Amino acid sequence: MCMVVLLTDFGDSEYVGVVKAVIYRAAPQAGLVDLCHSIGPQSVIEAAWVLKCNYRYFPKGSTFCCVVDPGVGTERRALAARTESYYFVGPDNGLLWEALKEQDIVEIRHIPIPADAARTFHGRDVFAKAAAQISLGNFNKTGRKIRRIKKLEFYKQGRKGVIVRIDSFGNIVTNLEKQKKKRYSVVVAGKKHTLEYYPDYSSAKPGQLFLIEGSGNTLEISLKQGNANQRMGLIPGQGIEIS
């Protein structure tokens, strides 16, 4: 029996509870952990970033049930993947790729969609059931082997990158690493900003926009005692240059 880790854009809704119910019904001894349910609605890039940054902190053998699925009910495939240390289930929309490519992939399988699965809720009727079966040791029964899946890679070229996450505090997370500088030029959404870099939140002045290195070891735009994105109005996937 392994731990099942949930990553969704379901927010504070009944959808989270019923996914857990389906897993517990098939695998009563499963250990369930909520990684995150506050992914922006249908924001595959955010989910991919959260998964990439956090999967390695879980015990080996854990199964990640990832459901951010704007293509639900279409011809997009459902996947189960096994690496040397972990298992993953989720839609074939690129969500899993950044985490998988860092590891040694053992095999990937195509999960069949049951005829009675709700076209709007594969999280309950496909992915939860597959995650439960994997936790019971039945990965080989999840579907047929396949070789290729959709790849979503975070754009980065020099000091140009992408916004990968807006967290619950309104911090704007990028995929760009810090340099040995105290001040940066930030170009995003057609506007140029000059922002100070601080090693901690307390060093900034109240109401000041600034840069900080986040827990994913990349630069984030923050607002002291406030919500940076309420001021800037950005979305995941937007390009950004920090130099």
Q: Please give the mean pLDDT across all residues of the chain.
A: 97
Q: Is residue 196 part of a domain?
A: yes
Strand partners, 236: none
Q: What is the pLDDT of residue 2?
A: 83
Closest CA to 229 of 185, 177, 174, 153: 174
What pTM was estimated for this model as a whole?
A: 0.96
Q: What is the pLDDT of residue 1?
A: 60
At residue 178 the predicted structure's pLDDT band, cuts being 50, 70 and 90, is very high
Alpha-carbon gap, residue 197 to 229, rounded angstroms: 17
Q: Is residue 151 part of a domain?
A: no
CB 7 within 8 Å of CB 66:
yes
% of the chain at pLDDT higher than 90: 99
Alpha-carbon gap, residue 51 to 218, rounded angstroms: 15
Give the model confidence (pLDDT) of 13-30 as tens digits. 999 999 999 999 999 999
Per the structure, the complete domain to which residue 64 belongs is given by 3-146
Domain CATH code at residue 208: 2.40.30.90
At residue 133 the predicted structure's pLDDT band, cuts being 50, 70 and 90, is very high
Query: Are 133 and 56 within one domain?
Result: yes
Query: What DSSP designation does 48 have?
Result: H
Q: Would you say residue 123 has pLDDT above 70?
A: yes
Tally of structural domains, the chain: 2
Query: Are 136 and 186 within one domain?
Result: no
Query: Are 128 and 237 within one domain?
Result: no
Question: Where is pLDDT greater, at 2 or 15?
Answer: 15
Amino acid at 107: E
Q: Would you say residue 122 has pLDDT above 90?
A: yes
Query: Are 124 and 168 within one domain?
Result: no
Q: Is residue 11 part of a domain?
A: yes
Q: Tell me which of 124, 146, 168 is where a domain ends.
A: 146
Residues contacting 14, CB < 8 A, separation 6+: none
% of the chain at pLDDT higher than 70: 100
Query: Are 35 and 120 within one domain?
Result: yes
Q: Is residue 132 part of a domain?
A: yes
Query: Are 186 and 88 within one domain?
Result: no
Beta strands 31-36 and 144-146, pairing class: unpaired
Q: What is the pLDDT of residue 166?
A: 97
**Stretch 37-52: mean pLDDT, rounded?**
97
At residue 207 the predicted structure's pLDDT band, cuts being 50, 70 and 90, is very high
Q: Is residue 45 part of a domain?
A: yes
Give the model confidence (pLDDT) of 80-100 as tens digits. 999 999 999 999 999 999 999
